[in-house]
């Protein structure tokens, strides 16, 4: 059994290990394009994901061809790691897909290569307002005064909780107005304090190799991705790391990451009352705990921010079919039918589509408290990666591990991140 957060692998974790899906080739080569050379007037649509996600994006492309029979459209796809690794090479060679999907964490790092077209003028000409999308959904694509990508689907972050355990120990259920003190009360009450059930209040999904949600807990970030200045020693970051340490060492409601892995059981078996929730496909939840416990989702406590994730559509700066590429990208990002297709595995980013999605969910999912998570989306940070930014996050993960397992002082750990990160960002480029 995997923990709730591990039920479906984060796209970020895939940057560190290839996930073989569908027909993806060894070594992460892009697959699926109909021919090495693109026929004149043909658009190439590139996308990545699990086998199910690849099928969904293929559906979106086929739907566009059905509505626009005059368009010649070819496909290229890969597993997430293969796609991410290949894009820089394709940018440099001018062979990138005309239109392609991009995770929120990729955009800033890859933007340094000049591979993304600026879509701001296209939006203006089309009369599309930023208010079309859920608040905050477009933030990932805004880099250096440009709009490099349009949001397609969003993964709202919050807390997943085992309602059965809350009710068993007479703890008030989380609601949109709950605060950090309420979270701590719940975690402490449900954590085994002399009982024999071994239950923990919170699963440690902050992790040590993916510490994005920990350092951004109070709205901080370890670097400014536009100025390339490190900010790891700012109070919001240090206090967040200190709080994570206190959950383990002071309040004793959350094991360190190594202990969580050793427990094996995690959230699905009722060993944990709460876990970080990212709005991925709900199937893993339903299959593992839907029939065993009552469970639900809630927004983070009021004081928390954290990160959000989404998928975006972008256009190659070197596309030879620029206007046609824009029409396809606009379709993927705004067409109601395209949004409905993509809603098979996440929340559509267009406001109206998101509301229809919420009301059309099966009963077992529609009862979940989705709207409060969506309402907080605009407050959450984007944990950009790519090249040297990924190297900085690796240093951050090492220091979180030091705090968790060795008891290193959070400020000292963040000073190490600040120093090493400054060296990385001042001497390296993608």
pLDDT band at 427 (very low <50, low <70, confident <90, very high): confident
Is 55 a residue whose pLDDT tops 60?
yes
Query: φ and ψ at 205, to 5 degrees?
Result: -95, 0
Is 268 a residue whose pLDDT tops 50?
yes
What's the chain's average pLDDT?
Answer: 85
Share of the chain above pLDDT 70, in %: 85
Share of the chain above pLDDT 90, in %: 59
Is 59 a residue whose pLDDT tops 50?
yes
pLDDT band at 137 (very low <50, low <70, confident <90, very high): very high
Instruction: For residues 257-282, give the mean pLDDT.
Output: 74
Range name among 24-33, 36-45, 133-142, 271-280 with the lowest pLDDT average:
24-33
Q: Which tokens hold the place of 39?
A: 């026929």
Q: What is the pLDDT of residue 283?
A: 54
Environment class of 285 (CB within 10 Å of its CB; exposed 0-12, middle 13-18, buried 19+): buried
Tens of pLDDT along 206-260?
A: 767 779 999 999 999 999 988 889 999 999 999 999 999 999 999 999 998 777 7
**Within a 10 A sphere around the Cβ of 343, how many other Cβ atoms?**
19
Range name among 260-274, 324-338, 402-416 with the lowest pLDDT average:
260-274
Tens of pLDDT along 1-16?
A: 233 444 434 444 443 3
Q: What is the pLDDT of residue 106?
A: 85
pLDDT band at 281 (very low <50, low <70, confident <90, very high): low
Q: What is the pLDDT of residue 265?
A: 55
Range name among 39-43, 103-107, 113-117, 410-414 with the lowest pLDDT average:
39-43
Instruction: For residues 148-168, give the mean pLDDT.
Output: 93
Instruction: For residues 94-114, give the mean pLDDT.
Output: 86
The residue with greater pLDDT, 116 or 289, is 116
Instruction: For residues 196-209, give the mean pLDDT.
Output: 84
| Max avg pLDDT among 101-110, 356-365, 367-376 | 367-376
Tens of pLDDT along 362-407?
A: 877 788 888 999 999 999 999 988 778 889 999 999 999 999 989 9
Instruction: For residues 149-169, give the mean pLDDT.
Output: 93
Predicted structure pTM score: 0.87
Q: What is the pLDDT of residue 12?
A: 47
Answer yes or no: are the C-beta atoms of 255 and 204 closer than 8 Å.
Answer: yes
With CA atoms as reference, report the closest residue to 21 among 70, 83, 74, 67: 83
| Domains (range + CATH), the chain | 13-155+308-378 (3.40.190.10), 160-307+382-427 (3.40.190.10)
pLDDT band at 317 (very low <50, low <70, confident <90, very high): very high
Cα separation, 426 vs 417, in Å, equals 14
Cα separation, 335 vs 232, in Å, equals 40
């Amino acid at each position: 059994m995997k923990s709730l957060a591990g039920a479906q692998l984060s796209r970020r974790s895939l940057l560190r290990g290839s996930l073989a899906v569908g027909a993806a080739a060894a070594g992460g080569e892009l697959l699926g394009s109909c021919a090495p050379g693109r026929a004149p007037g043909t658009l190439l649509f590139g996308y990545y994901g699990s086998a199910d996600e690849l099928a969904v994006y293929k559906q979106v492309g086929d739907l566009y061809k059905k509505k626009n029979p005059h368009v010649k459209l070819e496909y290229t796809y890969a597993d997430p790691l293969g796609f991410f690794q290949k894009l820089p090479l394709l940018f440099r060679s001018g062979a990138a897909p005309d239109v392609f999907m991009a995770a929120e964490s990729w955009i800033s790092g890859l933007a340094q290569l000049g591979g993304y077209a600026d879509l701001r003028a296209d939006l203006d000409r089309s009369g599309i307002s930023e208010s079309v999308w859920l608040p905050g959904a477009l933030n990932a694509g805004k880099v250096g005064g440009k709009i490099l990508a349009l949001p397609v689907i969003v993964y709202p972050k919050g807390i997943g909780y085992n309602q059965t355990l809350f009710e068993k120990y007479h703890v008030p259920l989380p609601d949109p107005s709950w605060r950090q003190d309420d979270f701590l009360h719940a975690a402490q009450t449900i954590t085994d304090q002399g009982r024999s059930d071994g239950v923990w209040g919170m699963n440690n999904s902050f992790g040590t190799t993916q510490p994005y949600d920990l350092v951004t807990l109070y709205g901080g970030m370890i670097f400014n991705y536009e100025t390339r200045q490190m900010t790891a020693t700012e109070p919001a970051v240090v206090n967040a790391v200190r709080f994570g340490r206190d959950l383990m060492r002071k309040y004793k409601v959350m094991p360190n990451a190594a202990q969580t892995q050793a427990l094996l059981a995690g959230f699905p078996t009722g060993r944990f009352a709460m876990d970080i929730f990212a709005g991925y496909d709900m199937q893993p939840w339903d299959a593992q705990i839907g029939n065993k416990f009552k469970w639900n989702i809630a927004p983070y406590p009021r004081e928390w921010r954290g990160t959000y994730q989404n998928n975006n559509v972008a256009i190659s700066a070197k596309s030879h079919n620029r206007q046609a590429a824009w029409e396809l990208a606009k379709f993927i990002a705004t067409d109601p039918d395209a949004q409905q297709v993509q809603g098979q595995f996440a929340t559509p980013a267009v406001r109206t589509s998101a509301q229809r999605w919420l009301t059309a969910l099966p009963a077992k999912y529609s009862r979940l408290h989705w709207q409060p998570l969506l309402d907080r989306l605009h407050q959450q940070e984007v944990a950009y990666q790519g090249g040297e930014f990924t190297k900085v996050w690796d240093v951050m993960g090492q220091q979180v591990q030091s705090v968790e397992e060795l008891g290193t002082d959070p400020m000292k750990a963040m000073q190490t991140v600040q120093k090493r990160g400054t060296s990385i960002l001042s001497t390296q480029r993608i």
